[in-house]
Structure 1
Amino acid sequence: MMEKRKAYEEKLDAQLKEWNAEIDLLKAKVENVNADLKVEYATKIEALQHKRDIARAKLHELKAAGDEAWEDLKTGAEKAWSEVKTAFHDAAAKFK
C-alpha cells in the first residue's frame, strides 16, 4: 500500500510540474498576440492557474493524510485532476 501511495503521489507531482511548464509556455505565447487576445488569454491562463492550485492543494492533502483518509481523499484528488486536464486540453486548443 505504501509504495503504491508513494508512486501515485510522485505521478501527481510530475503532472503538476508539467502543468507549470505548460502555463509558462502559454504565458510566452500571450506576449505575441494582439491586445484583445491578450486579455482573453490572460483570463484563460488565470483560470488554469486556479485549477492547478486546487489540484496542488488536493495533492498536499493526500500527502498529509493518514492511510484511512488517503483513499477517500484520492477520489477528490482524481476529480480535481480530471478537471485540470480538461481545462488544459481546452486551453491548448484555443491557443493554437
Structure 2
Amino acid sequence: MQTIILLVLSNIFMTFAWYGHLKYKEVSLWKVILVSWGIAFFEYCLQVPANRYGHGVFSATQLKIIQEVITLVVFVGFSIFYLKEEFRWNYLVGFVFLVLAVFFIFKKF
C-alpha cells in the first residue's frame, strides 16, 4: 500500500508540473519551466522511493502498469476539476481497455 500511496502523491505533483501551467498562458515560458522543474523535484522525491519499495513486491512491468493507471486516474480528476474540461464517453471506453490491460499484466497464466 505504501507504494501505491507514494505513486498517487507523486502523480499529483507530476500532473501539476506538466499541466498546471495551462491555466496561466500569460506567464512567460521560461518561468513556467522553472516552476515545473521545482514541482517535479517533489514528484521525483516520491516516485523513486515508490519504485524502490515496490520492486520485489511487484515486477518492474507491474510497477509501470500501476503507474500508468494512477497517472490516468489523477489526470482525469485534474482535467475535470482544475482545467474544467469535460469527460467524454470514449475516454471511459479507453479506461476500460486499460483496466483489461492491467488484468492481463497481473494474471498468472
TM-score for both structures, normalised by structure 1? 0.42
TM-score for both structures, normalised by structure 2? 0.38
RCO (CA 8 Å, sep 6+): is it higher in 1 or 2? 2
